Amino acid sequence: MAMVNSISTNNPQNVTDYPNNNTYFLVWNFKEGLTTAQIKPVFQRLCALVINLNNSALDRFPESKASCVVGIGYDAWLQLELPKPLPKELKNFEAITGGKHTAVATKGDLHFHIRSDVKSFAFDMSSIIADCMNEIAYCVVEVQGFRYWDSRSILGFVDGTENPHGTDRDYFAVIGEQDPAYKGGSYQFVQKYLHDLDAWKSLSVEEQEKVIGRSRTHDIEMSDDVKPKNAHIALANVGDDLKIVRDNMPFGNVATNEMGTYFICYASTFTTVEKMLRNMFIGNPVGNSDRILDFSIATTGSLFFVPSLDMLNDFAG
């Protein structure tokens, strides 16, 4: 088995790119009964394919800001017999249950985060990946996200205002010396939220603002003496030294009234994400859970590790 110290791990995948106009989120699970010997050759081709798609996008459509990021789950890492020891914080996500709400845990072997300002190109990238993956896995989540006005969620509020910018994005999203063997990698956590828009719309704008902790029109944060203790931003933001890079996207189906937010973040340490989730779902203090969860239900929850480009290239063989 390959040892991790034999692999170069410097250049990250596109984890710090800014949200795009069109995004595909795909979660795949390996088919039961397949052996490592059956899965691994396809996975190697897949790694080479992702690298090829990113290079091709840069050459063919440089203005589209297109990219594909692949993340690997804990079980998949073991089944594929990837390097040991594993990334320090890679594990199967465990559900976080509070008095009212639960951050559910769902299985995910591989996750693909595909962005492009050109929707056709995002679609083609997804289709090409599916053609490769269908041999060994089945898709359990497919969400097509889109930019809604000025980066707002379907709830009508700007999403991601607290995101770091500039070099801080690399600092908070990309692993450095805290895990030298996996330098350049990143932890990727995803959740699919469904919103109860009827209940949300029954609130006045002032009540909605208290749920979020910001003004709806101008995206200005409430002062601490006005902002409720259970407001979303009061609990989801766990400190200036503990940030993550969010790339959330809204999605919606008018016919079925399935409207929601696909939460995705990249972090140099998963403990930061866990602290945020505990604040939201259990409460800080306990019982003071995030008010937004009264209108947003998490239906999935999975942790992945995003290897560096160098490591992905090594995986391709």
Residues forming the active site? 159
- DSSP-based three-state secondary structure for 316: helix
Mention every residue, 6+ apart, whose C-beta is less than 8 A from residue 144: 22, 23, 24, 25, 251
Residue 299 CA: distances (Å) to CA of 49, 103, 191, 205, 263: 30, 8, 7, 26, 11
* Residue showing tokens 């989801």: 236
Q: How many CB atoms lie within 10 A of CB 157?
A: 22
Structure tokens at 243: 């940030």
19 close to 116: Cβ distance less than 8 angstroms: no
Strand 186-195 vs strand 302-306: parallel, antiparallel, or unpaired? antiparallel
Residue 79, classed as helix, strand or coil, is: helix
